[in-house]
Structure 1
Protein backbone atom coordinates (compact mmCIF):
# COMPACT_ATOMS: atom_id res chain seq x y z
CA UNK A 1 0.00 0.00 0.00
CA UNK A 2 2.77 2.43 0.95
CA UNK A 3 4.56 1.78 -2.32
CA UNK A 4 1.47 2.71 -4.31
CA UNK A 5 0.94 5.86 -2.27
CA UNK A 6 4.58 6.85 -2.69
CA UNK A 7 4.30 6.28 -6.43
CA UNK A 8 1.19 8.45 -6.57
CA UNK A 9 2.84 11.25 -4.60
CA UNK A 10 5.77 11.17 -7.03
CA UNK A 11 3.38 11.47 -9.98
CA UNK A 12 1.62 14.35 -8.22
CA UNK A 13 4.96 16.10 -7.77
CA UNK A 14 5.59 15.75 -11.50
CA UNK A 15 2.09 17.09 -12.17
CA UNK A 16 2.89 20.05 -9.92
CA UNK A 17 5.94 20.94 -12.00
CA UNK A 18 3.97 20.43 -15.20
CA UNK A 19 1.21 22.73 -13.93
CA UNK A 20 3.73 25.46 -13.17
CA UNK A 21 5.24 25.15 -16.64
CA UNK A 22 1.82 25.08 -18.29
CA UNK A 23 0.89 28.32 -16.54
CA UNK A 24 4.05 30.02 -17.71
CA UNK A 25 3.78 28.93 -21.32
CA UNK A 26 0.11 29.96 -21.54
CA UNK A 27 0.61 33.52 -20.29
CA UNK A 28 -0.78 36.25 -22.49
CA UNK A 29 2.62 37.82 -23.09
CA UNK A 30 5.46 37.78 -25.57
CA UNK A 31 7.41 34.61 -26.14
CA UNK A 32 10.42 35.69 -24.01
CA UNK A 33 8.16 36.18 -20.97
CA UNK A 34 6.34 32.90 -21.62
CA UNK A 35 9.65 31.08 -21.99
CA UNK A 36 11.04 32.59 -18.81
CA UNK A 37 7.85 31.86 -16.83
CA UNK A 38 7.35 28.41 -18.36
CA UNK A 39 10.84 27.31 -17.40
CA UNK A 40 11.34 29.50 -14.34
CA UNK A 41 8.20 28.61 -12.39
CA UNK A 42 8.84 24.84 -12.33
CA UNK A 43 12.50 25.49 -11.63
CA UNK A 44 11.64 27.71 -8.65
CA UNK A 45 9.28 25.08 -7.23
CA UNK A 46 11.87 22.34 -7.80
CA UNK A 47 14.54 24.37 -5.99
CA UNK A 48 12.26 24.97 -3.00
CA UNK A 49 11.22 21.31 -2.96
CA UNK A 50 14.82 20.12 -3.21
CA UNK A 51 16.04 22.47 -0.51
CA UNK A 52 13.32 21.75 2.04
CA UNK A 53 11.23 18.69 1.15
CA UNK A 54 13.35 16.07 -0.58
CA UNK A 55 14.82 13.11 1.33
CA UNK A 56 18.26 14.69 0.83
CA UNK A 57 17.13 18.24 1.60
CA UNK A 58 19.85 20.79 2.26
CA UNK A 59 17.77 22.30 5.07
CA UNK A 60 16.34 19.91 7.63
CA UNK A 61 12.95 21.11 8.83
CA UNK A 62 10.75 19.77 11.62
CA UNK A 63 7.90 17.64 10.26
CA UNK A 64 5.17 20.32 10.59
CA UNK A 65 7.29 22.91 8.76
CA UNK A 66 8.19 20.43 6.02
CA UNK A 67 4.52 19.60 5.59
CA UNK A 68 3.75 23.31 5.40
CA UNK A 69 6.30 23.85 2.62
CA UNK A 70 4.91 20.88 0.71
CA UNK A 71 1.37 22.20 1.09
CA UNK A 72 2.46 25.66 -0.03
CA UNK A 73 4.09 24.23 -3.15
CA UNK A 74 0.94 22.31 -4.07
CA UNK A 75 -1.29 25.29 -3.33
CA UNK A 76 0.86 27.40 -5.64
CA UNK A 77 0.51 24.73 -8.32
CA UNK A 78 -3.26 24.69 -7.89
CA UNK A 79 -3.46 28.47 -8.08
CA UNK A 80 -1.26 28.54 -11.17
CA UNK A 81 -3.56 26.05 -12.89
CA UNK A 82 -6.54 28.19 -11.94
CA UNK A 83 -4.80 31.28 -13.33
CA UNK A 84 -4.15 29.37 -16.54
CA UNK A 85 -7.92 28.88 -16.87
CA UNK A 86 -8.21 25.40 -15.37
CA UNK A 87 -9.46 25.79 -11.79
CA UNK A 88 -10.95 22.29 -11.44
CA UNK A 89 -7.70 20.45 -12.24
CA UNK A 90 -5.98 22.83 -9.81
CA UNK A 91 -8.36 21.87 -7.03
CA UNK A 92 -8.04 18.18 -7.91
CA UNK A 93 -4.24 18.41 -7.78
CA UNK A 94 -4.29 19.91 -4.28
CA UNK A 95 -6.97 17.54 -2.97
CA UNK A 96 -5.25 14.43 -4.35
CA UNK A 97 -1.99 15.52 -2.75
CA UNK A 98 -3.70 16.15 0.60
CA UNK A 99 -5.48 12.79 0.54
CA UNK A 100 -2.36 10.88 -0.50
CA UNK A 101 -0.24 12.67 2.12
CA UNK A 102 -2.81 11.93 4.84
CA UNK A 103 -2.89 8.25 3.89
CA UNK A 104 0.91 8.08 3.85
CA UNK A 105 1.17 9.65 7.29
CA UNK A 106 -1.52 7.32 8.61
CA UNK A 107 0.42 4.37 7.18
CA UNK A 108 3.44 5.47 9.22
CA UNK A 109 5.45 7.12 6.47
CA UNK A 110 7.53 10.08 7.63
CA UNK A 111 6.57 13.51 6.37
Structure 2
Protein backbone atom coordinates (compact mmCIF):
# COMPACT_ATOMS: atom_id res chain seq x y z
CA UNK A 1 0.00 0.00 0.00
CA UNK A 2 2.88 2.38 0.75
CA UNK A 3 4.19 1.94 -2.80
CA UNK A 4 0.81 2.84 -4.29
CA UNK A 5 0.48 5.84 -1.98
CA UNK A 6 3.99 7.05 -2.80
CA UNK A 7 3.49 6.57 -6.53
CA UNK A 8 0.18 8.43 -6.36
CA UNK A 9 1.79 11.34 -4.52
CA UNK A 10 4.47 11.47 -7.21
CA UNK A 11 1.74 11.54 -9.87
CA UNK A 12 0.05 14.37 -7.97
CA UNK A 13 3.33 16.31 -7.96
CA UNK A 14 3.61 15.79 -11.72
CA UNK A 15 0.00 16.93 -12.12
CA UNK A 16 0.78 20.08 -10.13
CA UNK A 17 3.69 20.80 -12.46
CA UNK A 18 1.37 20.03 -15.37
CA UNK A 19 -1.09 22.69 -14.25
CA UNK A 20 1.68 25.28 -14.19
CA UNK A 21 3.01 24.16 -17.58
CA UNK A 22 -0.51 24.15 -19.04
CA UNK A 23 -1.17 27.67 -17.80
CA UNK A 24 2.10 28.89 -19.30
CA UNK A 25 1.46 27.09 -22.59
CA UNK A 26 -2.01 28.60 -22.79
CA UNK A 27 -0.65 32.09 -22.21
CA UNK A 28 2.18 31.80 -24.71
CA UNK A 29 -0.11 30.40 -27.42
CA UNK A 30 -2.86 33.03 -27.20
CA UNK A 31 -3.82 34.84 -30.36
CA UNK A 32 -2.62 38.40 -30.12
CA UNK A 33 0.39 40.61 -29.83
CA UNK A 34 3.70 39.25 -28.58
CA UNK A 35 3.50 41.40 -25.44
CA UNK A 36 0.08 39.91 -24.56
CA UNK A 37 1.38 36.37 -25.02
CA UNK A 38 4.47 36.98 -22.90
CA UNK A 39 2.51 38.65 -20.08
CA UNK A 40 -0.16 35.94 -20.10
CA UNK A 41 2.45 33.18 -20.33
CA UNK A 42 4.26 34.51 -17.26
CA UNK A 43 1.42 35.81 -15.10
CA UNK A 44 -1.09 32.98 -15.51
CA UNK A 45 1.22 30.35 -13.97
CA UNK A 46 2.05 32.80 -11.17
CA UNK A 47 -1.65 33.16 -10.38
CA UNK A 48 -2.04 29.39 -10.25
CA UNK A 49 1.06 29.05 -8.06
CA UNK A 50 -0.24 31.74 -5.71
CA UNK A 51 -3.62 30.01 -5.37
CA UNK A 52 -1.96 26.66 -4.63
CA UNK A 53 0.45 28.21 -2.11
CA UNK A 54 -2.39 29.88 -0.25
CA UNK A 55 -4.87 27.02 -0.20
CA UNK A 56 -3.50 23.72 -1.49
CA UNK A 57 0.17 23.15 -0.73
CA UNK A 58 0.75 20.11 1.46
CA UNK A 59 1.79 21.20 4.93
CA UNK A 60 2.62 24.76 3.85
CA UNK A 61 -0.72 26.19 2.75
CA UNK A 62 -1.51 29.47 4.47
CA UNK A 63 -5.23 28.63 4.60
CA UNK A 64 -5.74 24.86 4.52
CA UNK A 65 -9.03 23.80 3.01
CA UNK A 66 -10.92 20.67 3.99
CA UNK A 67 -13.98 18.77 2.82
CA UNK A 68 -16.05 20.39 0.08
CA UNK A 69 -13.75 23.43 -0.01
CA UNK A 70 -10.77 21.20 -0.80
CA UNK A 71 -12.76 19.48 -3.55
CA UNK A 72 -13.70 22.88 -5.00
CA UNK A 73 -10.07 24.03 -4.90
CA UNK A 74 -8.83 20.94 -6.70
CA UNK A 75 -11.63 21.12 -9.26
CA UNK A 76 -10.76 24.74 -10.00
CA UNK A 77 -6.99 24.21 -9.96
CA UNK A 78 -6.64 20.93 -11.82
CA UNK A 79 -9.70 21.66 -13.95
CA UNK A 80 -8.14 24.99 -14.88
CA UNK A 81 -4.96 23.20 -15.87
CA UNK A 82 -6.94 20.71 -17.95
CA UNK A 83 -8.83 23.56 -19.59
CA UNK A 84 -5.57 25.37 -20.36
CA UNK A 85 -4.11 22.23 -21.98
CA UNK A 86 -7.35 21.64 -23.87
CA UNK A 87 -7.44 25.15 -25.30
CA UNK A 88 -3.71 25.41 -26.01
CA UNK A 89 -3.04 21.96 -27.47
CA UNK A 90 -6.32 20.14 -27.97
CA UNK A 91 -9.38 18.85 -26.15
CA UNK A 92 -8.09 15.27 -25.96
CA UNK A 93 -5.10 16.36 -23.90
CA UNK A 94 -7.35 18.41 -21.62
CA UNK A 95 -9.70 15.48 -21.04
CA UNK A 96 -6.79 13.08 -20.42
CA UNK A 97 -5.21 15.49 -17.94
CA UNK A 98 -8.49 15.87 -16.06
CA UNK A 99 -9.11 12.10 -16.07
CA UNK A 100 -5.65 11.49 -14.61
CA UNK A 101 -6.44 13.97 -11.82
CA UNK A 102 -9.76 12.20 -11.13
CA UNK A 103 -8.00 8.84 -10.76
CA UNK A 104 -5.34 10.45 -8.55
CA UNK A 105 -7.98 12.09 -6.35
CA UNK A 106 -9.95 8.85 -6.00
CA UNK A 107 -6.83 6.92 -4.96
CA UNK A 108 -6.03 9.61 -2.38
CA UNK A 109 -9.59 9.66 -1.08
CA UNK A 110 -10.05 5.91 -0.82
CA UNK A 111 -6.54 5.45 0.55
CA UNK A 112 -6.66 8.16 3.24
CA UNK A 113 -10.31 9.16 3.43
CA UNK A 114 -9.40 12.70 2.39
CA UNK A 115 -7.93 14.69 -0.47
CA UNK A 116 -5.67 16.55 1.96
CA UNK A 117 -2.03 15.54 1.62
CA UNK A 118 -0.13 15.36 4.89
CA UNK A 119 3.58 16.04 4.80
CA UNK A 120 5.51 13.13 6.25
CA UNK A 121 2.37 10.98 6.44
CA UNK A 122 2.97 7.26 6.24
TM-score (structure 2 length as normaliser) = 0.85
Give me the CA root mean square deviation.
1.3
The aligned residue for residue 73 of structure 1 is 77
- Asked if 1:60 is matched to 2:67, the reply is no
SS of the residue corresponding to residue 21 of structure 1 reads: helix
Could you tell me which runs of 5 or more consecutive residues in structure 1 were left unpaired when the two chains were aligned: none
2:50 paired residue among 37, 42, 47: 47
Equivalent-residue separation in structure 1 for 2:26 and 2:94 (angstroms): 11
Equivalent-residue separation in structure 2 for 1:60 and 1:9 (angstroms): 17
- Asked if 1:90 is matched to 2:94, the reply is yes
Equivalent-residue separation in structure 2 for 1:84 and 1:108 (angstroms): 34
Runs of 4+ in 1 over 4 A off after TM superposition: none
TM-score (structure 1 length as normaliser) = 0.92
Could you tell me which runs of 5 or more consecutive residues in structure 2 were left unpaired when the two chains were aligned: 116-122
Could you list the per-position Cα deviations for residues 39-81 of structure 1 after superposition, in whole angstroms to 9, with x for gaps in the alignment?
1111111111110111211112223201210111111112222
- Asked if 1:7 is matched to 2:43, the reply is no
Moved more, 61-70 or 43-52: 61-70
Equivalent-residue separation in structure 2 for 1:43 and 1:13 (angstroms): 13
Equivalent-residue separation in structure 2 for 1:67 and 1:89 (angstroms): 22
The aligned residue for residue 112 of structure 2 is 108
How many residues align? The count is 111
